[in-house]
Structure 1
Amino acid sequence: MSQTVDRALSILPLLAEGPADLGQVAERLGVHKSTALRLLRTLHEHGMVYRQSDQRYRLGARLIALAQEAMENLDIREIAHPHLVRLNESCGHTVHLAVYEDDEVLYIDKVESRYPVRMYSRIGKPVALTVAAVAKLLLADLPEAERRALAGTLEYPLYTARSTPDAPAFLEELARVREQGWAVDLGGHEESINCIAAPVRGADGRVVAAMSVSAPNVVVTAEELLTLLPQLRRTADAVSGEYSGRTTAKEPA
């Protein structure tokens, strides 16, 4: 990368911290003010930075619009799928990816278990909002007022004795999930099926998807499944890093 491009790009994270004047930019870059001014003018011409009335510079609307457009065009399923496959190969159990859209939590990807007993879930199928681990993670990330309003509109079918019985219990569970950063469904939807879930987060820290590992009791106990939680969380964190741009995908060996 040329020195000029490198210096210009170095200005952007500086201004992301807040507006800065010409002297501050020059000092941070370690260049003369004339050089800093030339770089700022070029960025300004392209809408990457904006000069305020107090002569300080801030990030420009064009840059923000490009970032938003890039985020909207990211395919979380495409990014996550190789990670789901590797997790499945490691643990052997069913792995799901789910998102919250139009008041439903939907599976958008699935890698089947290697064991003969298979999950009935399928891509595009909505999950049970009040019990599914992925739903708890996605709904726990909603603003409090929205969580409370949603909880008041839901029905609470008792699929099993471990199902969430009512809105107060559901809100208590979402608060716990929000605090600990992961969720479980231990026989809440089906007595014989257990599930653990971890969040995939965007650059702003909000939960954009939930990744889960599910298995029937005949294959693995709930306690044994919970031992996979650190591995699941590391996988979800890796997807988060790639999705948010903090890390890049590793090249295959």
Structure 2
Amino acid sequence: MTMPKQARHDTDDTADNDDARDQQLVSPVIRGLRLLRFIAEGGSTANLSEVGRRIDVNRVTVMRLLATLEHEGMLERLPQGGHEVGFGFLKLAARVLAANDLTTFARRVLARLSASLQLSAYLVVRDGGHALYLLRDMPNTSLVSNIQVGSRVAAHLTTPGRMLIADQPPEELRALLGDDPLPTATGQSPATHARLAEILGADRERGCAWSFSAYEAGIDSCAAPVRDASGEVIAAISVAGPQQRFEADGTLRERAEREVKAAARDLSALLGDRTGNGSRR
């Protein structure tokens, strides 16, 4: 039976597309992922020949793949022999899960924080050398900070941004922010890396960052870091409100700092941080 011309043409196109996709695949990556999946599902590496048979490679290739994945922290060698999924892999997985859960958990934390303090509450993440405002919860008052969701601000200029970069080494900060002079928003903004280092040191010591009209005129702000299951800072929670409210209520600054730190610890715990101290260091 002769295949119709159009059918033959469609079959040829499908084969060509499959060939094109196959040419884009990287065989060593496929083999490495097969090995990683095999171990993650409970497979033993005690018998390298058996492992090779299971993932369709030879014994020497298994040895090379194991060495490479160990080097990258994706696998760890067990004292009694064999391998298990490494801490580097677990950290990577935790970050992915945290990214999916972060905003879901944060909405409730921000709502509670904003209602308690009657201040605008924000969830902020780092985007390169910038602070990206992901979520905002605002009280039903006319006097609030007006930073919009989606705002992207040089990290060193705002309190949540400072918390997001506070743990970075000096060379990394310079790579993220650029050389001196640094951009400024007001006369209080750090214009040099030396001045920024002093401010970040004080932030780390206090476990939070404060701003008194340093970014928005007449607006005070406090922020604390949010950590993931590996203990790394992945976000910051901040509150902001009119300076006159802080001045009129002598207890507000103390309450704001205490509650912002507690909110950051709560969100950190929801994301897997087990230290009970989201603002440690």
TM-score surpassing 0.5? yes
**Structure 1 CA distance for aligned equivalents of residues 84 and 250 of structure 2:** 49
After TM superposition, the score normalised by the length of structure 2 is 0.63
1:164 and 2:159 matched: no
2:253 counterpart residue number? 226
Structure 1 residues 169 and 69: CA distance shift in structure 2, 3 A: same
Residues 85-164 of structure 1 aligned to structure 2 (within 5 Å): 85-153=111-179, 155-164=181-190
Alignment CA distance shift 1:55-1:86 (3 Å): same
Report the more deviating stretch, 215-224 or 194-203.
Answer: 215-224
Match of 2:72 in 1: none
Secondary structure of the residue aligned to 1:179 is: helix
Q: 1:239 matched to which residue of 2?
A: 267
> Displacement of 1:157 after TM fit?
4.3
What secondary structure is seen at the aligned counterpart in 2 of 1:220?
A: helix
Q: Does 1:68 align with 2:95?
A: no
> CA 1:125–1:48 in structure 2 vs 1: closer, same or farther (change >3 Å)?
farther
**Unpaired stretches in structure 2, ≥5 consecutive residues:** 1-37, 47-76, 276-281
How far apart, in 2, do the equivalents of 1:99 and 1:143 lie? 18
Give the secondary-structure state (helix, strand or coil) at the position aligned to 2:266.
Answer: helix
So what's the TM-score if we normalise by structure 1?
Answer: 0.69
- Return the alpha-carbon distance in structure 1 between the equivalents of residues 88 and 182 of structure 2: 41
DSSP 3-state at the match of 1:110: strand
Cα distance in 1 between the residues matched to 2:134 and 2:107: 10
Residues 128 and 189 in structure 1, CA contact (< 8 A), matched pair in contact too: no
**Pick aligned residue for 1:59 from 84, 98, 101:** 84
Instruction: Give the Cα–Cα distance (whole angstroms) in 1 for the partners of residues 94 and 85 of structure 2.
Output: 16
Could you tell me how far 1:56 is from its partner in structure 2? 3.8
- CA RMSD, Structure 1 to Structure 2 (Å): 3.0
SS of aligned partner of 1:116? coil
Distance in 2 (CA, whole Å) between partners of 1:48 and 1:96 is: 44
Q: How many angstroms apart in 2 are the aligned matches of 1:212 and 1:229?
A: 9
Question: Partner letter of residue 125 of structure 2?
Answer: V
Give the 3-state SS of the residue equivalent to 1:230 in structure 2.
helix
Distance 1:100 1:45, change over 3 A: closer
Computing the radius of gyration over CA atoms, which structure comes out larger, 1 or 2? 2
* Count of aligned positions: 204
Cα deviation for residue 233 of structure 1 reads 0.6
**Aligned equivalents of 1:108, 1:131: Cα separation in 2:** 17
C-alpha distance in structure 1 between counterparts of 2:143 and 2:122, whole Å = 16
Q: Do the aligned residues in 1 keep the contact of 2:164 with 2:233 (CA within 8 Å)?
A: yes
User: 1:79, 1:239 within 8 Å by CA — same for their partners in 2?
Assistant: yes
Equivalent of residue 42 in structure 2, options 41, 47, 50: 47
Counting aligned pairs with the same residue, the percent is 26
- 2:209 maps to 183
- Note the alpha carbon deviations across 1:82-120, whole angstroms, 9 max, x for none: 011111111111001100013321000000133212322
What's the secondary structure of 2:152's corresponding residue?
coil
Return 5+ residue gaps in structure 1 as ranges. Answer: 1-42, 248-253
- Tell me the CA shift for residue 192 of structure 1: 0.4
